[in-house]
Amino acid sequence: MSNFEERLLSALKQDMAGRSATDPADAGIGLAPVARGPRWRRGYGLAAAAAGVAAVAATTVTIGGGLGGAAFAVTTDPDGSVGVRIDDFRDADGLEAALRRKGISAVVDYLPSGQTCRQPRGKAARHSGKLTTGLTMGADGSLGFTIEQGRIAKGDTLVLTVSAGGTDKAPVSSALEIITGPVAPCHPVPLPALPPPGGNDDDRGPSLNEQQGTATDPPGTTTSQEG
């Protein structure tokens, strides 16, 4: 065996000894060890990160409310619809700005309990005679609604009016409408009392009465009032 062959054999033995020390599973195997966990874990981590980015892109969330905590959340779903959830009835300007960033012109007014804005606020937009964007009230007193993509046309404004007993209390009355053209400023007026449902004045606790397109409301208006 030549000196070169001896040096080559010695180098191979040292290399194999070093590999066996770092990876016991490869001891006694005359083949270079295959990379295991680290490369797989790195690929898995990249895939998981990509999946996370895709999920965020599918649904985006805007939370507002300033130093007092989150007052509202605005979400955009994959179908383009925009969802709004209001937990504290404050920061109306912040909610307007959040909707504006979604391409929705909005006017939001929060009033003390027993007050609402004088009607009409402007020319009601007509969408097949009804406004499908309805208000829902959660068991925790939160208020929510969903705006379908394309529901608010260019030149139209979503107008939300809420009469609340406090920033963190359930609303006494709320109204949601779409106005075409200019929207009049809110002039507070007393909230009209609703008659008992069905004319029955027995005490069955608070109820949520919803009216759509009634004789006293402009077309395209959704109102709700606890009586």
Neighbour count for residue 218 (Cβ, 10 Å): 19
185-205 mean pLDDT = 71
One domain for residues 50 and 67: no
One domain for residues 94 and 181: yes
How high is the pLDDT of residue 218? 44
Structure tokens at 160: 């939300």
Task: Report the percentage of the chain scoring pLDDT > 90.
Answer: 37
Q: What is the DSSP string of 138-193?
A: -TTS-EEEEE-TT-S-TTEEEEEEEEESSTTS-EEEEEEEEEES--PPP-EEEPPP
Q: Across all residues in the chain, what is the average pLDDT? A: 70
Q: Is 80 exceeded by the pLDDT of residue 141? A: yes
One domain for residues 94 and 192: yes
147-156 mean pLDDT = 90
How high is the pLDDT of residue 207? 31
Contact at 8 Å (CB) between 144 and 135?
yes
Tell me the pLDDT tens digit for each residue of 91-123.
Answer: 999 999 999 999 999 999 999 999 999 999 999
One domain for residues 51 and 121: no
209-227 mean pLDDT = 43
How high is the pLDDT of residue 67? 47
> Structurally, how many domains does the chain consist of?
2
169: domain range? 61-226
How high is the pLDDT of residue 61? 58
145 vs 171: CA distance, rounded Å: 14
One domain for residues 24 and 135: no
Task: Report the percentage of the chain scoring pLDDT > 70.
Answer: 50
Rg (CA), the chain: 32
One domain for residues 112 and 52: no
40 vs 47: CA distance, rounded Å: 11
Which of 16-20, 28-32, 35-39 has the weakest average pLDDT? 28-32
How high is the pLDDT of residue 150? 86
Nearest to 175 by CA among 160, 154, 197, 193: 160
Domain boundary among 26, 42, 57: 57
One domain for residues 121 and 25: no
Structure tokens at 159: 């107008």
One domain for residues 71 and 117: yes
